Homo-oligomer: A and B are copies of this chain.
Amino acid sequence: MIEAAADRLLAEVGVDINDYPRAVELFAEAGAEIDHDAAISDEGARVRFPDGMCRRIVTENAPATYTQHARNPERSVTIGANHTVFAPNYGSPFVFDLDNGRRYATIEDFKNLVKLTYSSHHLHHSGGTVCEPVDVPVNKRHLDMIDAHLRFSDKPFMGSVTAPERAEDSVEMARIGFGGDLGDRTVMTSLINASSPMSWDGTMLGAADVYATNNQACVISPFILAGAMSPVTTAAVATQTLAEALVGMAFCQLVLPGAPVVFGSFASSMSMQTGAPTFGTPEPALALYTIAALDRRLGVPFRSGGSLTASKLPDAQAAYESAATLQPTLLGGVNFVLHAAGWLEGGLSVGYEKLVLDADQLGMMAVLAGGVDMSANGMATDTLLTHPPSKHHLGSDHTLANFEDAFYFSVTANNDSFEQWEIDGSLDSAQRANATWKESLASYEPPPLDDAIGEELTEFVARRKDEMPDEIG
């Protein structure tokens, strides 16, 4: 029903394509109906897609999985199928920590967050705009950000999408960072948002064009605040998300057939009092499960979820809401998880303690995804059949052989007695996480980077900065 409704929506209503005539041309060549009279911008058009055209373009061309190569080949990731890749927070203008509270993010915070992500076993991906370094001019931030991802981490990362030329810079810096030639390797997965409802703008399509042309991956993500950018009901959110994403993914396939794309969904509920987005409520979880099922039928990788919360600090609200998003993320089979750690305040802020606490949860998700060991050792039938009733198992051979790996070890939980916990200062988990991220930064060591590559990156960043006057965002 949802698929049929999405195809009908694309055929009968269509989308607005603004400020990117090349996209209109490509869609027209592929069979779309172009209506310039209905356009809401000078260079725009209303574009309608008959007969499931976008779906057909996507299913016939987009790969089911792709490898995103990392600078360190051991950290390359597969995106799609039964893989789940965790990436940190994205896009927050503020940072929060227990010592200094909430404040504007700086490039120093950005580097710290890249280092903390690099240091966590449970984050597979360095992410992109892990925070907005607002102390750097808006048109030059991407240079410092990509430089930091390449220099302070060797995990895979994301490129800039705030202008097509910044996407070009991202590709060029990746080329330098990977030793001068990317070949046919996909080394960036970047976030392309629709302008919901039912609209795409030139900035995002332009960035997607650059990435698809270079065989780099795009996450095509409608951002739907239900009741504002779409009807308020879950089935309608899913219908519109699918329709909007199909257009973006089809565009990438028209630019380069076979270019890696990820079907993205970010769907949030809303406070009935204030209109503010809300997180960890059941409706976005239902939307995630539904859209994940639609994605499996489409056959491309899926992005959604994370550790989302509206809370201002890493308290119980933050944890409940994050877990109520993360559990569906894992169980829904999401392949690429942005905002998997650190997110606070509806994305306005990223928390140092929150990053530590969330990362521990990601480790647990990995074990959950592993399922139940049904081997002879897992079944332990021999032990069960030889162990007498009423006798504990603490010292049995099977326990001793399995104990060390039997249970996930949480670095953030306190399982001590109340008395021991009091002696240790009665710290809550956020306070303990405060010590953890400081220790992690203090012991951070950068991954190896060829000196020549480091210098070339420095020169590139300096040259590009010189070429442009500062813009203040």
Residue of B13, B272, B407 near A407 (CB, 8 A) is: B272
Say whether B317 contacts A406, CB under 8 Å. no
Judge whether B399 and A232 touch: CB under 8 Å.
yes
Instruction: Tell me, in angstroms, the Cα distance from A77 to B326 when the chains sit together.
Output: 31
Q: How many residues of A contact B (CB 8 A)?
A: 119
Query: Is A315 a contact partner of B199 (Cβ separation < 8 A)?
Result: no
Residue A319, interface by CB 8 Å: yes
- Contact status B311-A368, CB under 8 Å: no
Nearest B residue to A412 via CB reads B317
Partner of A270, one of B327, B368, B407: B407
Contact residues of A between 279 and 322, Cβ < 8 Å to B:
280-283, 285-286, 290, 310-322
* Residues in B neighbouring A396, C-beta threshold 8 A: 231
How many angstroms between the C-alpha atoms of A320 and B325 in the bound complex? 11
Stretch from A4-12, A136-144, A167-175, A248-256 contacting the other chain: A4-12
Note all chain B residues with C-beta closer than 8 A to A94.
Answer: 418
A384 and B198 alpha carbons, distance in the complex (Å): 10
Query: Which chain B positions have C-beta within 8 A of A99?
Result: none
| A469: Cβ under 8 A from any B Cβ | no
A449 on the interface (CB 8 Å rule)? Answer: no
- Of chain B, the residue at the smallest CB distance from A327 is B327
Tell me, yes or no, whether A462 is within 8 Å of chain B by CB.
Answer: no
Please tell me which one of the listed residues B239, B361, B378 contacts residue A234 in the complex, with CB atoms under 8 A apart.
Answer: B378
Q: Which of A67-75, A154-162, A387-395, A435-443 is the interface stretch?
A: A387-395
Binary CB contact string for chain A from 75 to 110 against chain B (1 if under 8 A, 0 otherwise):
000000000000000000010000000100000000
Closest residue of chain B to A102 (Cβ to Cβ) is B418
Q: At the interface, yes or no: A458 with Cβ under 8 Å from chain B?
A: no
Contact of A229 among B16, B393, B426, B429 (CB under 8 A): B393
* A176 within 8 Å of B (CB atoms): no
Q: Is A444 an interface residue (CB 8 A)?
A: no
- With the chains together, A377 CA to B413 CA distance in Å? 44
Q: Is A240 an interface residue (CB 8 A)?
A: yes
Chain B residues with CB under 8 Å of A399's CB are: 227, 231-232
Report, nearest first, the 3 A-B pairs whose CB atoms are least far apart. Answer: A323-B323, A319-B319, A198-B389
